[in-house]
């Protein structure tokens, strides 16, 4: 197994331990509490579960960015998706209508940057606190990764939508113990799918042109 994959696997392990502890509290510690208190606890679990979802994804891809930067890769050798991603700050002046001055600034920065090795600023990676299915597939595409989460669109979007509703103060959402348990199980599957994709990506050096 690639060393970076092992680091991401370690991130998965401590997150799953915390999530399993969250589930046990709901089953054991709240056993004598009234239903409303239990539902309040289960509702509070959703933002916590989402935090681990976004945290795992952002941490994993930032570790990958650091790894790729440390490889000192020739830009002409990496896949176009990755090179384009690295140029996001350079390309910003071309957004919308641009003046000649903005076009000139772009060309100046592009020419100056062209012969340097690949470097990706970690700040370019953001989930925008809203890591839904579309956002996740966008992140995968920036690295030229295959969509390994195709069957989880509904699960991911439901988690994000419920988290947003609860975070914005809506208390009409009913969350039960089985919902929390199910979301934790799905999160384990998502983590495992991402880890397998990382291992393939790294071992086959899919960041390089064929």
Tell me, letter by letter, the H, E, C secondary structure of 31-57.
CCCCHHHHHHHHHHHHHHHHHHHHHHH
pLDDT surpasses 90 at 134: yes
Give me 151's structure tokens. 């069957």
Q: Which band of pLDDT confidence, cut at 50, 70 and 90, is reported for residue 27?
A: low
Q: For the chain, what is the mean pLDDT?
A: 89
- Taking residues 184-194, report their average pLDDT: 96
Q: Which residues pair with 78 in a beta bridge?
A: 208
Q: Give alpha helix (H) positions in the chain.
A: 3-24, 35-70, 80-86, 88-91, 100-114, 133-142, 153-167, 177-203
Contacts of 32 (CB under 8 A, 6+ apart): none
pLDDT surpasses 90 at 24: no
pLDDT above 90 as % of the chain: 62
Q: Which band of pLDDT confidence, cut at 50, 70 and 90, is reported for residue 185?
A: very high
- Encode pLDDT of 57-76 as tens digits: 999 999 999 999 999 999 88
Q: Which pLDDT score is estimated for 29?
A: 60
Dihedral pair phi/psi, residue 182, rounded to 5°: -65, -45
Q: Which band of pLDDT confidence, cut at 50, 70 and 90, is reported for residue 19?
A: very high
Q: Which pLDDT score is estimated for 30?
A: 63
Task: Report if pTM > 0.75.
Answer: yes
Higher-pLDDT residue of 53 and 116 is 53
């Amino acid at each position: 197994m690639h060393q970076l994959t092992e680091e991401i696997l370690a991130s998965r392990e401590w997150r799953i331990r915390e999530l399993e502890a969250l589930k046990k509290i709901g089953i054991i510690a709240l056993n004598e509490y009234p239903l409303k208190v239990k539902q309040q606890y289960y509702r509070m679990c959703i933002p916590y579960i989402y935090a681990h979802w976004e945290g795992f994804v952002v941490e994993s891809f930032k570790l990958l960015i650091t790894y790729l930067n440390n490889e000192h890769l020739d830009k002409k050798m990496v896949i176009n998706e990755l090179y384009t991603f690295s140029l996001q700050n350079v390309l910003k002046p071309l957004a919308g209508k641009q003046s000649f001055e903005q076009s000139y600034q772009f060309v100046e920065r592009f020419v100056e940057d062209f012969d340097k090795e690949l470097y990706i600023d970690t700040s370019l990676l953001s989930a925008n606190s809203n890591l839904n299915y579309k956002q996740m597939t966008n992140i995968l595409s920036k690295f030229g990764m295959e969509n390994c989460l195709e069957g989880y669109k509904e699960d991911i979007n439901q988690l994000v939508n419920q988290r947003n509703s609860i975070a914005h103060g809506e208390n009409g959402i009913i969350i039960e113990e089985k919902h929390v348990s199910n979301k934790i199980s799905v999160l384990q599957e998502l983590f495992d799918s991402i880890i397998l994709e990382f291992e393939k990506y790294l071992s086959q050096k899919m960041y390089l042109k064929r």
